[in-house]
Structure 1
Amino acid sequence: MTCLACGEQVTRSAAREYDKHGDRWDREDKTFEHCCKACHRELCHLPRNELEELLVDLEAETANREAFLAAYLTEVERRYGTLEEES
C-alpha cells in the first residue's frame, strides 16, 4: 500500500483505511485509500460534514494549487462567513 499522505510504501497490515467520505463502515461499492499508521494518528477524526465534497468539487473546477486555494477560501466564506464574523 502507498500512504496517501506521505507516499511511504507499507504492508497492508501496517496501513489504515481512509475513506474520503468519512464513513468507512459503509463498505458497499467503495474503494479505500490507505495511510501509514503514523499519518493516520495525525488525522483529525472528527466529522468532516461537507468538507470532502467541497474539496472534490473545487478540485474538479481548478487548474492549479493557487486557484484551488483561492476558490476554497471564497467558497468557505460564502457558506460560513469570515472569521471576523464569527467573533
Structure 2
Amino acid sequence: MWGSRRTRDGSQVTCIACGRSVARSNAREYDKHGDRWDRENKEFEHLCKRCHRDLCHQPRRGLESLLVESAAGECDQDAFLARYHELIERERDSPPES
C-alpha cells in the first residue's frame, strides 16, 4: 500500500534535551501538556531516542504548570528554586481536592 509514515517522512527534528538534530523517525514526541493522544492544533517537541530512554516515565500530573508558575527558564536558578519550593510547600499544606 502506501508504506508507513516513518518511511515517507524524512524530516529532521531537534531534541529538546541535548539539542542534536535527528531524523524524525529516530525521535519520540514530547507533549508538555501530557496528552499526546489529543493531536488537534498541536505542535510537538521531540526527544532523540537516547534522551527519551533517560527520562523518568512516572506520571507528572501538574508538573508542567508548576514549572511555568515557578518561572522555569525565565529567572536565575536560585530564584526558580525558591519559587518552586514555595509552591511545593503550599501544595503540600493545602487540603486534598475531592
TM-score class, shorter: 0.7 to 0.9
Give, in whole Å, the separation in 1 of the partners of 2:69 and 2:82. 14
**Match for residue 65 of structure 1 among 77, 83, 89:** 77
Unaligned runs of 5+ in 2: 1-12, 94-98
Identity of matched residues, %? 61
Q: Residues 43-62 of structure 1: matches in 2 within 5 Å?
A: 43-59=55-71
Q: Secondary structure, in 3 states, of the residue corresponding to 2:46?
A: strand
Higher strand share: 2
Tell me which of the two structures has the higher relative contact order, counting C-alpha pairs closer than 8 angstroms and 6 or more residues apart: 1
Deviation at 1:56, TM superposition (A): 1.4
Which residue of 2 is the match for residue 84 of structure 1?
A: none
Higher helix share: 1
Which residue of 2 is the match for residue 85 of structure 1?
A: none
Deviation at 1:70, TM superposition (A): 1.1
Which residue of 1 is the match for residue 36 of structure 2?
A: 24
State how many pairs are aligned: 80
Unaligned runs of 5+ in 1: 82-87
CA shift digits 1:7-52 (9 cap, x unpaired) = 1111111111000111111111211100000111111222211111
TM-score, length of structure 2 as denominator length: 0.73
Give, in whole Å, the separation in 2 of the partners of 1:58 and 1:31. 23
Deviation at 1:53, TM superposition (A): 0.8
Runs of 4+ in structure 1 deviating by more than 4 angstroms, as ranges, are none
CA shift digits 1:56-84 (9 cap, x unpaired) = 12227x52222111100111111115xxx
RMSD: 1.5
Larger radius of gyration: 2
